Structure 1
Amino acid sequence: MTSLDDLPIRDDLRGLSPYGAPHLHLPVELNVNENTHPIPEDVARDIIEAIARELLTVNRYPDREFTALRDSLAGYLGEGLSRENIWAANGSNEVLQQIMQAFGGPGRSVLGFPPTYSMHSIIAASTGTAWIAGQRDADYLISPATAVEWIERTKPDIVFFCAPNNPTGTGLGLDTIVAAYDAFDGVVVVDEAYAEFMPSGRPSALTLLEGRPRLIVSRTMSKAFAFAGARLGYLAADPAVTDALRLVRLPYHLSALTQAAAVAALAHAPEMLAMVDDIKAQRDRIVTVLTELGYTPWPSEANFVLFGGVDDPEWLWQQLLDRGIIIRNLGIPGHLRVSAGTAAETTAFLDAMRELTVDRMAS
């Protein structure tokens, strides 16, 4: 049988591994930071009706400029943004890929700060952009001085920040973003996939866009809007950025059905976001209980918790799996990550952790 090594793929892709989060169907799935709350029935009904209307003209190509969707996203974000500031694609991964295609590529580089979202380096590789791994400060933080130091040392074309950071849940100060922007002439991308889960009153990088045409803030509807299966990511930036992305996007890249579903969901934004407070409560509950059990969870501003103090991550991961609960083993020594689920899902995870911890201590 032919293997990948037998094919004439690009040399810079040889030896790489694709994104590999386990995709198992179990009673409690808390491994990929999904919003495990179902979409409210009345919202789902409106989305279905919107899709049904689009089906009547699905023989025609969709609005290539997805105008209604960009208007809806601008209205949701506020901050004085208009459709000219907004871009969208099939998930934030495609948004980030298009950024790399426009501003990265062969002979260019992107600076990131691991541990961070693994797709950042994967997308870099897929676009022929050199990935530079910077180092974080203690407690997974990034100070302005650290960001500037790495920019001056490596001279990247693009800097990626993840705020809150995945997989650590760590926040990022706006002063770090400003310092990085002022330190070079390249593009600064702030991945705010989990922005809705930040502490109340915490300002978003969206507040920094005015007067900074090289700053890009990416978002997603996958998390807070429980829209992971719909695949809708977007960004806010200077209108010149969206012009640049038009040069690399494929024609009609957002289907009419995706556009209709997203617009309908955004029309119910308050109702869709009502579940966020419950998710944050479950996240904080996880931190409290794991601390009581002797683990060391990191403070999180996202919808998940990274926790240390795990003697054997592979053993604990497998024991939870055997009980119908899947969380994430990211390969960080002594650590595992768990998404905040519904109250019932969180209870199932915490009860299993209590049982396993007691058994482990007794053995």
Structure 2
Amino acid sequence: MTRASLNDLPLRDDLRGRQPYGAPQLDVNVRLNVNENSYAVPESVALAIVEAVAAQVRTLNRYPDREFTALREKLAKYLNAGLDDEHRLTADNIWAANGSNEVLQQIVQAFGGHDRTALGFVPSYSMHPIISQGISTRWMAVDRDADFQVDREDAVRAVTELQPDVVFLCTPNNPSGTALDLATIEAIYDVAPGIVIVDEAYAEFSRSGTRSALTLLPGRERLIVSRTMSKAFSLAGARVGYLAADPAVTDAIRLVRLPYHLSALTQAAAGAALDHSDELLGNVEALKAQRDRIVQTLPRFGVRPFPSDSNFVLFGGLSDAHTVWQRLLDRGILIRDVGIPGHLRVNAGTEAETSAFLDALGEILGETPQ
């Protein structure tokens, strides 16, 4: 049977020539390329999740709670642990979906679309334009500065001039790891005519003193903060993402969400994980320590790491980044070529994984860490 190509199908014109999102999925000893949490789910938490999921199996003939109320309540409780009374959230402020990408997709479905625009500050998370364009929302990109920071005055000027319907702000930013200060987010929100999304997928890895945009939500009904359980919670395989916003935002998303989009099994697994959040987050500090170790060690090799509030480090100064990437892979170490000339990105792993990366990179670049 002859296999058809995309050109044989009546594909939308604006999708022709595009490439799907993807990163290499290779069976190597050290995988540090997609910002996963290197620590497995602890045995005690795994058992609790299994029990919670098992309790739902006998009733899978019924649809799940369409409003996933119990999960929203637990997510609000989790976020409130880091907020003062003035900024406390309720279940009405929370929405969840199958990974933060689906959360972002639902937002753009509700507030983007044909004849509407989305803006991001690049380089940043590559799914932001993919999601926008997949919903026929015209993508507009504004360059970050040489240090991958967003200049406040330049950002305000761009948003004022372009008047986007949706603004994406990624903090900590992927792939650079750099965080936005709240004053910049406020300034952008004040001139934006539409929705402002603050993508905080890596918020739990932020350095001391880095504040969350959750504190900006009161009185800002067009501001949305998205989060994920994939990274800090070690639940990348469970696909659970969520947002916090004014209740009117969740009402808007109900207009576009698919019926019963969050399965009973997903709700049960995520709820059990939140019941054991202290245990699941127990390795965050260890990963932050390895991240800081990478930042401190890389200058010895003559390359430049960027300060990071995430669980990964972007580093530049490589004359041939792809060759370095390939030579690491030849040693069984997979990191990410993010397409920025002279730069590569590596996520922090266990102490052993981080050591393997640093030792190999030192050999490749002609210097061993002291």
Q: Using structure 2 for the length normalisation, give the TM-score.
A: 0.96
Paired residues for 1:277-356 under 5 Å: 277-356=285-364
Task: Determine if the alignment matches structure 1 residue 258 to structure 2 residue 266.
Answer: yes
Q: CA deviation at 1:355?
A: 1.2
Distance across 1 between alignment mates of 2:295 and 2:208: 18
Change (3 A) 1:359 1:290: closer
In angstroms, what is the RMSD of aligned CA positions?
1.1
Structure-2 residue corresponding to 1:25? 27
Structure-1 residue corresponding to 2:245? 237
Q: Using structure 1 for the length normalisation, give the TM-score.
A: 0.98
Q: CA deviation at 1:138?
A: 3.7
Q: CA deviation at 1:104?
A: 0.1
Structure-2 residue corresponding to 1:58? 60
- Specify every segment of 5 or more residues in structure 1 that has no aligned partner in the other structure, as ranges: none
Paired residues for 1:191-270 under 5 Å: 191-270=199-278
Q: CA deviation at 1:137?
A: 2.8
Structure-2 residue corresponding to 1:151? 159
Structure 2 residue identity aligned to 1:300: S
Structure 2 residue identity aligned to 1:22: P
State which drifts further: 11-20 or 226-235. Answer: 11-20
| Contact persistence 1:137–1:146 (CA under 8 A) | no
Distance across 2 between alignment mates of 1:25 and 1:76: 35
| Contact persistence 2:301–2:367 (CA under 8 A) | no
Task: Determine if the alignment matches structure 1 residue 177 to structure 2 residue 179.
Answer: no
Q: CA deviation at 1:309?
A: 1.2
Q: CA deviation at 1:142?
A: 1.1
Distance across 2 between alignment mates of 1:359 and 1:319: 15
Q: CA deviation at 1:207?
A: 0.2
Identity of aligned residues (%): 64
| Contact persistence 1:102–1:247 (CA under 8 A) | yes
Q: CA deviation at 1:184?
A: 2.7
Match for residue 82 of structure 1 among 84, 90, 103 = 90
Q: Report the number of matched residues.
A: 360
Give 3-state SS (helix, strand or coil) of 2:11's partner.
coil
Distance across 1 between alignment mates of 2:193 and 2:16: 32
Q: CA deviation at 1:200?
A: 2.2
Structure 2 residue identity aligned to 1:25: D
Match for residue 99 of structure 1 among 103, 107, 115 = 107
Distance across 1 between alignment mates of 2:320 and 2:145: 26
State which drifts further: 249-258 or 148-157. Answer: 148-157
Task: Report Cα offsets for 1:111-135 as digits up to 9, x if no partner.
Answer: 1011000000000111000000012
| Contact persistence 2:305–2:313 (CA under 8 A) | yes
Give 3-state SS (helix, strand or coil) of 1:249's partner.
coil
- Specify every segment of 5 or more residues in structure 2 that has no aligned partner in the other structure, as ranges: none
Match for residue 117 of structure 2 among 109, 112, 117 = 109
